[in-house]
Amino acid sequence: MKLTINNSEITVENGATILDAARILGVYIPTLCHFEMPEVGVVNRTGTCRVCMVDVEGRHNLLPACSTVITDGMVVRTNTPRAVKSRRTMVELFLSNHPKDCLVCERNQNCELQSLACELGIREVKYNGERMKFKKDTSSFSLIRDPEKCVLCRRCETMCNDFQTVGVYSAIHRGFSTTIGPAFDLPIIDTCCTFCGQCVSVCPTGALTQADNTAEVWTALYDKDRFTVVQTAPAVRAALGEELGYKIGDDVTGKMVAALRRMGFDRVFDTNFAADLTVMEEAAEFIERLQNGGKLPILTSCCPAWVKFIEHQFPELLDIPSSCKSPHEMFGAVAKTYLAEKLGIDRQKITVVSVMPCLAKKYEAARPELMYGEDRGYVDCVISTRELARMIRESGIGFQSLPDEAFDGVMGESSGAAVIFGVSGGVIEAVLRTAGFLLTGEPLQDVEFHELRGIRGIREASVNIAGRDIKIAAAHGLHNARRLLEDIRDGKALYHAIEIMACPGGCVGGGGQPYYRNDLSVVRRRGETLYECDRKNPRRCAHENLEVKRLYDEMLEKPGSHKAHELLHTKFTKRTGY
Amino acid sequence: MNRIRMHMLVCGGTGCVSCDSTEVKDALVREIMEHGLENEVQVTITGCFGFCEKGPIVKVYPDNVFYVRVSPDDAKILVGEHVIKGRVVEKLLYGDTPSDIPFYKKQMRIALRNCGLIDPEKIEDYISVDGYEALGRVLTGMTPQQVIGVIKGSGLGGRGGGGFPTGLKWELTAKAAGDKKYVICNADEGDPGAFMDRSILEGDPHSILEAMAIAGYAVGADEGVVYIRAEYPLAVERLQKAINQAEAFGLLGDHILGSDFSFRVGINLGAGAFVCGEETSLMNSVQGGRGEPRIKPPFPSETGLWSKPTSINNVETFANICPIILNGAEWFSGIGTEKSKGTKVFALAGKINNVGLVEVPMGMRLGDIIYSIGGGVRGGKSFKAVQTGGPSGGCIPASMLDISIDYESLSETGSMMGSGGMIVMDEDDCMVNIAKFYLEFTVDESCGKCTPCRIGNRRMHEILSRITKGGGTLDDLEQLKDLGEIIKICSLCGLGQTAPNPVLSTLHHFYDEYEAHIVDKRCPAGACTELLRYTIIAEKCIGCTLCARSCPVPCISGERKKVHDIIQEKCIKCGICYKKCPVDAIERK
């Protein structure tokens, strides 16, 4: 297909849009609603915002560049007076219906509407009138919905409906009152939302943001009577730097540890320690099921969004996920028992803070079965990578000039297997490394399972361990999970073990990570960093973690023991469809 | 054997039914039974005659007498005089003529051919007026390409508003790849005041089913969907009956008339969203989704209902199909103008004497429709404008009454054909207020998907409200124009793309009225209450105190037998004093 854009000629593939061609040519067309991640099949080509309008010869109306498929010989002009004027008008119309409280908005300086207004040099909003009023939805532990800031780009809807097949969001009401929300305007807590936070990840404005738990963390840190323990998830170290002046994918573990110490945490630990612990428990459970005719496949249960998904969507399959708690919950349980005892501190005085790439972890920490006593969780407080970055900035810590420091001992050591928990395919790879060892009694010759890595929706591998072919699958995106679960339910899929993560690319693309803005290469780069960390670690397998070994020796006896079950395993709840 | 010597056709359209035409029919039947004439005189409920202003209507054949405003009480005299004695009941005639009514003189009824003629609930009636003959001819003697060729040759354009060539639409759908295709009949008639689709479905449902089957044969579809508003219960009921009858007669279903062609029709009820008249919104709605448009292309002919190639046509378009097949493309293309072929049904409404449905050849002078057929403006007032094309059409001023009614000429005036609404306005109508009224409709009915329609139209409406309340500035007019143009060229679907038309066309043709609201703070038509000013003419006031006693505020002062005065700051412009004054001493400006 040949076309000209602003007098430059270009030939593009069939099916390409004007925007695609313009980008190849280096012609910039502003967009707002447009959002595509073709690598994972996400296309939000709704053409609703009308910001990218361009002039096409022979057409009376302007056409949206993002969603107009090129026809041969098209003559496009992006900068005619009426196209430029229309674009400005669209942004002005948005602003006329926007709270404009940018200075105190969560997305200040990180908002696509704000950037657009800035880019177009809008200095006044000609059109004034009524602004739509909606209530904020603060019902959940994970995210906040502020429909007044919604620009109806429908990205959240696309992520929720197409990528996650959860379908919480759709347009509700009509005309000027239209907004995007749960059916019947239900509070999000009363829906089947998995709290994966991908809607927050893709929201261009402050309409969807994370629930803010930083105040609780500050309170605990300032309270001299409290012993504050922090753990950081694997994926955090590969993304935090983006918020603090580092390149995408830079590993900032050492500086992160140093910063957390300077913020006042009494102990800085690594969730990776608990990831190794998870591997031990899950590998034991897997082998137990494999050898004793238990239910297969076993499904990993580290991802709380995925767990909530299966509870709502496939309640009849709740006997297949591993009963293991997620690593940060295992960490919390160990911290408030083993660590408390070791340090001689009353566990009621310990505050466990998790720094997670995830918003679902916020909700997970409040699940009743993960509490002890009436209202105390093993994990007291969950903050996202973005929240940690904000706290570091707020502390006035010169992050880049910090020395690299190491995690504290007792719960700070980890293997390479643990760090890849942060990337899709990593958990099952980590479990395989240990299960292989446990089944054969010898270390695996090759601990890297490349078939399970990458960005494809579902990856499969068949591994021969001890003369037995083990069929494995790893999937990210709940639409892929749904496909696998339907096959399992219908008896069409014969796997031994499956790993599922809700977010694109796994936790590195989590809902609590710095915004990846339509660019999955950011997520991929973070994943590569984690694989790099794994390669650099002399210990590649969980069972080589000496601190974990000590934990079993001193308290838990062995993986799958009664004590381990009491502390490290959980149960699931059947839930309804919507 | 019965020898029916006389037929009494009672209008069964929704308009007449709501004026008790069912009771009229029952009363006529009772009277006829009482006189033992049931074997000679048959009373039939038919579809709409179109002359709704004068309903309920009863037409008597073979005498060809047209009775208007018949009440159930008139049954006695109708039977006693007309049926038995053969004397026309003059008091029930329109004017002094039993037939040859001016309302019908210049009409040419193709789409409405059977409305008011047959019993819509009897397939036999339809068959007796050549019903299903076109389908028979198509299935036995024509290839799909030939059918498409005839429709293309006729020049028939989409009657839902766009005017897109129907034959071309069928051809595109026929050529689209796919083994499953659909035919949709768009009966989501949403324009306020327009009811031609309803009347056709109520009066001649089989003609639509037959045409849909022909379309199905032409495009290669085996399934048809009629998307009809749930607010049309009578049409739905008659359509369902028609489907059942056609299936029982083997005219719908498998192997129609022994051919290889199978076609079924289902009904889908719409919930009344105006935007669902837009084809892609309609299809989303059929699929159970939210009624909001999709981006085009791909067009429905490639990716339509359930992503299958779909030909979607409006009711009135379908109503033209069978006559074209039976009479040939040339017959049809001989009617109308060079570019707009055939006839068009208009729904006359507003300040016009003969409210109702009229079908005229394309190219008729606008003034002829309003004066010769419509009988001119009601109450002897002066004609100001006619609004065509539904809520997103435009207003055409008196100076343009000579234009020809066709797609092109209407577009040139800044209005459009739309589905054929024609609302007449007189000197009492304020054009700013009218523009606001129509825009309010589209603001309410916007689906909210795209920015210009969702926010832009709302902002325009706010500006108009400001102007009608006296708070407008001349800058506002520039803003209205700018914003209106941008909304037109930027909106996603036809609703948004046409919504500013009433504002832009009135701005163009009635700029001085806008100015009067802004500069003089005055509404020339006296319709914008907040700009009105009631004053007492001292010379006329007799001091009767009636106005002061009636004023609800009260804001009128004055003693008995002395001139009264209205305190302007307090006046709420309710107009009660104006109505009560026995000597017309209160002036409204």
Q: Where do the domains of chain B lie, and which CATH numbers do they carry?
A: 6-100 (3.40.30.10), 123-333 (3.40.50.11540), 343-426 (3.10.20.600), 431-518 (1.20.1440.230), 533-588 (3.30.70.20)
Other beta carbons within 10 Å of A467 = 7
Residue A174 and residue B458: Cβ atoms within 8 Å? no
Q: Is B161 an 8 Å CB contact of chain A?
A: no
A121 falls within a domain = no
Cβ-based contacts of B450 with chain A (< 8 Å): 47-50
Partner-chain contact A46 B295, CB within 8 Å:
yes
Is residue A184 domain-shared with residue A259, that is, in the same domain?
A: no
What pLDDT sits at residue B100? 76
Instruction: Establish whether A322 is a catalytic residue.
Output: yes
Q: In this predicted complex, what is the ipTM?
A: 0.92
Size of interface A-B (CB pairs under 8 A): 107
Q: Is B440 on the interface with A (CB under 8 A)?
A: no
CATH at A319: 3.40.50.1780
Helix H or strand E segment including B120: none
Instruction: Classify strands B6-11 and B41-46 as parallel, antiparallel or unpaired.
Output: parallel
Does the annotation count A49 as an active-site position? no
Residues of chain A with pLDDT under 50: none
End of a domain among A66, A88, A104? Answer: A104
Is residue A228 located within the same domain as residue A191?
no
The pLDDT score that the predictor gives to residue A230 is: 97
Asked if A129 is an interface residue toward chain B (Cβ–Cβ < 8 A), one would say yes
- Nearest CA to A499 out of A311, A327, A299, A314 is that of A299
CATH number at residue A200: 3.30.70.20
- Chain B residues whose CB is inside 8 A of the A132 CB are none
A135 is catalytic: no
Question: Are A169 and A309 in the same domain?
Answer: no
Backbone angles phi, psi at A369, to 5 degrees: -75, -10
The position carrying tokens 């004034």 is A128
Is B455 near chain A, with CB under 8 Å? yes
pLDDT of residue A374: 67
Quick check: helix, strand or coil at residue A211? coil
Q: State the pLDDT confidence band at B55, using cuts at 50, 70 and 90.
A: confident
Q: Are strands B223-229 and B264-270 parallel, antiparallel or unpaired?
A: parallel
Same domain, A16 and A165: no
Residues A145 and A50 reside in one and the same domain: no
Buried b (16+ CB within 10 A) or exposed e, A287-304: bebbeeeeebbbbbbbbb
Residue A127 belongs to a domain: no
Q: Is the pLDDT of residue B1 over 60?
A: no
Length of chain A: 578
Point out the residue among B447, B459, B462 whose CB comes nearest to the CB of A174. Answer: B447
- A62–B489 C-beta distance less than 8 A: yes
- CB contact, 8 Å: A94 with chain B? yes
> Average pLDDT in the B371-383 region?
91
Burial A512-533 (b: 16+ CB within 10 A, else e): bbbbbebebebbbbbbebbbeb
Helix, strand or coil for residue A25?
Answer: helix
Residue A464 main-chain phi, psi, to 5 deg:
-95, 115
Same domain, A192 and A308: no
Q: How far is CA B338 from CA B109, B306, B323, B342, B407, in A?
A: 20, 37, 20, 10, 11
Residues A41 and A80 in one domain: yes
Q: Does B465 touch chain A (CB under 8 A)?
A: no
Q: How far apart are CA B14 and CA B239, in angstroms?
A: 14
**Cβ neighbours of B456 in A, within 8 Å:** 89, 93, 127
Report pLDDT for B103.
Answer: 85
Give the containing element (helix H, strand E) for B272.
Answer: none
Whether A401 and A474 share a structural domain = yes
**Which of A211, A241, A261 is at the close of a domain?**
A211
| Spatial contact of B157 and B407, defined as CB atoms under 8 Å apart | yes
Residue to mutate among A60, A93, A133, with most B CBs inside 10 A, is A93
B481 min Cα distance to partner chain A (Å):
13
Q: Which of A61, A90, A174 lies at the smallest CB-CB distance from B497?
A: A61
Instruction: Compute the CA torsion angle A347, A367, A364, A210 (nearest 10 deg).
Output: -100
For residue A113, tell me if it sits in a domain.
no
pLDDT tens for B57-97 read 999 998 889 999 999 999 999 999 999 998 999 899 987 77
CB contact under 8 A, B448 and A178: yes
Does A82 share its domain with A139?
no
Q: Which of A537, A512, A513 lies closest to A525, judged by CA?
A: A513
CA distance A157 to A170: 6
CB-based contact A152 B454, cutoff 8 Å: yes
Q: Evaluate whether residue A35 is within a structural domain.
A: yes
Among this protein's residues, is A507 annotated catalytic? yes
Specify if A112 maps to a domain.
Answer: no
Residue A301 makes CB contacts below 8 A (sequence gap 6+) with A307, A321, A322, A323, A324, A325, A326, A570
**Helix, strand or coil for residue A308?**
helix
Q: Which of A242, A243, A329, A364 is catalytic?
A: A364
Are A417 and A273 a contacting pair, CB within 8 Å? no
Number of domains observed in the structure of chain A: 3
Active site (annotated) includes residue A282: yes
In a domain, A109, yes or no: no
Q: Which of A168, A193, A211 is the last residue of a domain?
A: A211
What pLDDT shows up at residue B2?
67
Nearest beta carbon to residue A175 from set B448, B490, B497: B448
Containing domain of residue A382, as a range? 215-568
Q: Which helix (H) or strand (E) holds B9?
A: strand B6-11
Asked if A333 and A261 sit in the same domain, the reply is yes
Better pLDDT: B418 or A325: A325
Catalytic residue among A106, A361, A362, A387: A361
- Interface touch B447/A48, C-beta < 8 Å: no
- A306's enclosing H/E stretch is helix A304-313
The mean pLDDT value of chain B amounts to 93
* pLDDT at residue B4 in the model: 86
Tell me what pLDDT residue B418 has: 84
Altogether, the residues listed in chain B come to a count of: 589
Q: Are residues A154 and A256 in the same domain?
A: no
What is residue A514's predicted lDDT score, i.e. its pLDDT? 96
Nearest to B459 among A47, A62, A96 (CB): A96
**A236 in the same domain as A358:** yes
> Which of B448, B452, B458 is nearest residue A129 as measured by Cβ atoms?
B458
Report the DSSP pairing between strands B343-350 and B421-426: parallel
Inform me whether the C-beta atom of residue A14 falls under 8 Å from chain B C-beta atoms.
no
The three-state DSSP-derived secondary structure of B552-576 is CCCCEECCCCCCCEECCCCCCCCCH
CATH value at residue A18: 3.10.20.740
pLDDT of residue A442: 87
